[in-house]
Structure 1
Amino acid sequence: MTVAVVRQLNVGDVYQDWIDGVQQQADELGIKLDVYNADGDNAKQALYMEQAVASKPDGILIGWGFGDSLAPGLKLAEDAGIPVVSYYVQVEPSENVLAMDQGDDLMMKEILAQMLDHTGEDADIIYCYVPGYQALDNRDVEYQSFLSEHSGLNQVAQIGVVSSNTAAETADQAKAALTANPNVTAIVAPWDEFAKGAVLAVEELGLQDKVKVYGIDISTADIAVMTKDGSPWVVTGTTDHVNVGQVSMRTMALKIADQVDGNVLSIPPAIITQDQLRAASIQNMDQLIAEVPDLFTPDLMRAPWMAK
């Protein structure tokens, strides 16, 4: 059995963890992978999608992407009878396409509630967001609703960039925004690359005691950032993306076998605080999963014929 993996984004801890999980589960299931990395280039991903269909795999797994650019390839896959599983792709689920994501609304709601406990109802905040990416758009819906419910919160700047160097470029933007808005006490950064950039900016300006960062996603590298002395990154909403990659591949195998009910799957998230990480002396993802076992879902989308 062969599965084509067509990735839009592949630079950063989340994307590396995801493909690691995909590969691990593929190896266990005896599935051969053909991986296409688009390096954030939508046109390249669209081309790779069409190339993947032409290679006649048993299934296609898409990691991130835009529905508009992928639409021609998705139509080709449907016409060829090749099942598709998409993770964070702006595409309508269908009989041929199963759409996966995380519990974005839950993650965003929880980190914003923690922020409110810190800032109170009246505060200046910076928001990191780039429209057009399904994960960020999903989280933005909850963020906008939260702002409407808490009118005392004042968003003084919206920053963020999606590139091969997101953290560094976001840090530059955050430094400029913090310098221009000295009363800011919180940065909402709902992606770990945004959060790492926000942390860099806060630390370079020496504002750790005043400005806190509220993120989404976690990895071993992120844990090191959150737990170091003086880190402003105090909470993150997350799944374990190695686990998500494994679930994605099991879902793909079930889709190929025509053993999936429904066409939407959301991975349940957890909320991780800086205090929790420090109290348990957690330094890596293995230790975190031992502390928060709900991050590991080995039975989700698993059939009896799949060996553990």
Structure 2
Amino acid sequence: MTLSRIRGARLLALAAVAALGLTACSEGGRQATNDNSGGGGNAAGSSGYTIAMITHETPGDTFWDKIKSGAQQAAKDEGVTLKYSNDPDASKQAVLIQNAVDSKVSGIATTLVTPDALAGSVKAATDAKIPVVGFNSGIDQYQRLGALMYFGSDENLAGSTAGKRIGEAGAKHPLCVIQAAGSVALEARCAGVKSAVPGTENLQVNGADDSSVVSTLQAKLSQDKSIDYIVTLGAPIAVDALKAMDAAASKAKLITFDLNAEVAQRIQDGKVEFSIDQQPYVQGYLAVSALYLNLKNGNDMGGGKPVLTGPSFVDKSNIDKILPFTKTNTR
């Protein structure tokens, strides 16, 4: 078997494992940073390819550590030079994509959380014959923008799945907390919850400021005691919610999207009912490896359809197995 086929088989197997998580997804909330890293197998750059990964990461959100960890491991495995950059501001993320185009990278992997704002820069990439894949956000828009492939969760499905579960548990008035304005993924999650529990109410908070999140949530919970479930859309926001719930003496139950080590521990302790995980490590890994295979061998993962990495429930039934991986940024 040739090296390309071995790598292709490995990537297909990983995608299949990700798909198995659908029995039961993120995006987080938290200046731009640059982390130029090839991530153990081959020497960075030995393939001759340079891949730019550009996200809407907000500083401080542990969710993105998992994305980067997966991308760096794929870069190591494939001998790719990985250039990571991020900015939560849509116009600045578009500039980062344009910068990658101007530097003539081999491929671009980008989140598409604000697709209309990024459309021009993505078109500049495709016009320059630079393959683009979307991941994490933009599942319904990636093809329109010209991205070849997509790796992530179906956010509408994730939201409705979460809503159905809490509805069956008796939820009547959930509060869905949106930490980043204009995010199509976050809006889709809350819409999904509301489709299952019509009494769902949305609350906008500033996810870049933890103290603001806590105070906004505390005020809402103190004012409205009918809120019986809180749905946060990122693990750091769940931690803020726990503080707000204590301060407001709220009896609401808490569920969240995404994981970090602290939230995983809170699930084990019974403070968080469950998490809807989209497996960000897998998203980062697949985005880089799929671009490598496309450049090397013309492969198209998914056959024109999104490759789903979630949603998957993490709760009391499986947290003991998953908890250790949250501490190594792989889950």
Which of the pair is proportionally richer in strand?
Answer: 1
Pick aligned residue for 2:155 from 100, 104, 123: 104
Q: Is the 8 A contact 1:159 1:170 kept in 2?
A: no
Write the distance in 1 (CA, Å) between the matches of 2:326 and 2:93.
Answer: 32
2:314 — aligned with what? 272
Q: Give the Å deviation of 1:281.
A: 7.6
Give 3-state SS (helix, strand or coil) of 1:119's partner: coil
Instruction: Provide Cα deviations, 1:237-260, integer angstroms capped at 9, x if missing partner.
Output: 113222221122122222323210
1:8 — aligned with what? 56
Q: Give the Å deviation of 1:180.
A: 0.4
Q: Is the 8 A contact 1:66 1:133 kept in 2?
A: yes
**1:200 equivalent in alignment to 2:249:** no
1:301 — aligned with what? none
Q: Is the 8 A contact 1:4 1:33 kept in 2?
A: yes
Q: Is the 8 A contact 1:185 1:212 kept in 2?
A: yes
Question: Highest relative contact order (Cα 8 Å, sep 6+), 1 or 2?
Answer: 2
Letter in 2 for 1:285: F
Write the distance in 2 (CA, Å) between the matches of 1:242 and 1:73.
Answer: 25
Letter in 2 for 1:126: L
Cα 1:286/1:144, change in 2 over 3 Å = closer
Q: Give the Å deviation of 1:108.
A: 2.1
Name the count of aligned residue pairs. Answer: 275
Letter in 1 for 2:196: F
Q: How does 1:1-308 map to 2 (within 5 A)?
A: 1-11=49-59, 12-38=61-87, 40-90=88-138, 91-93=141-143, 96-120=147-171, 123-129=172-178, 130=180, 132-148=182-198, 154-155=199-200, 157-165=201-209, 167-207=210-250, 210-228=251-269, 231=271, 233-257=272-296, 258-260=298-300, 261-262=303-304, 264-273=306-315, 275-276=316-317, 280=320, 283-285=323-325
Q: Give the Å deviation of 1:162.
A: 4.6
Q: Give the Å deviation of 1:45.
A: 1.0
Write the distance in 1 (CA, Å) between the matches of 2:117 and 2:195.
Answer: 29
Letter in 2 for 1:147: V
Q: Give the Å deviation of 1:66.
A: 1.5
Q: Is the 8 A contact 2:259 2:326 kept in 1?
A: no
1:151 — aligned with what? none
Give 3-state SS (helix, strand or coil) of 1:164's partner: coil
TM-score (norm 2): 0.74
Q: Give the Å deviation of 1:267.
A: 1.7
Write the distance in 1 (CA, Å) between the matches of 2:206 and 2:82.
Answer: 27
Q: Is the 8 A contact 1:161 1:170 kept in 2?
A: yes
Q: Is the 8 A contact 1:59 1:252 kept in 2?
A: yes
Where do 5+ consecutive residues of structure 2 fail to align?
1-48
Cα 1:286/1:180, change in 2 over 3 Å = closer
Letter in 1 for 2:202: Q
Give 3-state SS (helix, strand or coil) of 2:290's partner: helix
Q: Give the Å deviation of 1:107.
A: 2.6
Write the distance in 1 (CA, Å) between the matches of 2:152 and 2:190.
Answer: 15
Give 3-state SS (helix, strand or coil) of 1:35's partner: strand
Q: Is the 8 A contact 2:159 2:188 kept in 1?
A: no
Instruction: Provide Cα deviations, 1:205-233, integer angstroms capped at 9, x if missing partner.
Output: 333xx2101211112232123334x62x2
Q: Give the Å deviation of 1:135.
A: 1.9
Instruction: Provide Cα deviations, 1:144-182, integer angstroms capped at 9, x if missing partner.
Output: 32234xxxxx34x532335433x4432221111110012
Q: Give the Å deviation of 1:96.
A: 4.6
Letter in 1 for 2:240: G
Cα 1:89/1:235, change in 2 over 3 Å = closer
Q: Is the 8 A contact 2:276 2:313 kept in 1?
A: yes
Write the distance in 1 (CA, Å) between the matches of 2:311 and 2:51.
Answer: 27
TM-score (norm 1): 0.79
Letter in 2 for 1:133: S
Letter in 2 for 1:110: T
Q: Is the 8 A contact 2:176 2:231 kept in 1?
A: yes
Cα 1:16/1:288, change in 2 over 3 Å = closer
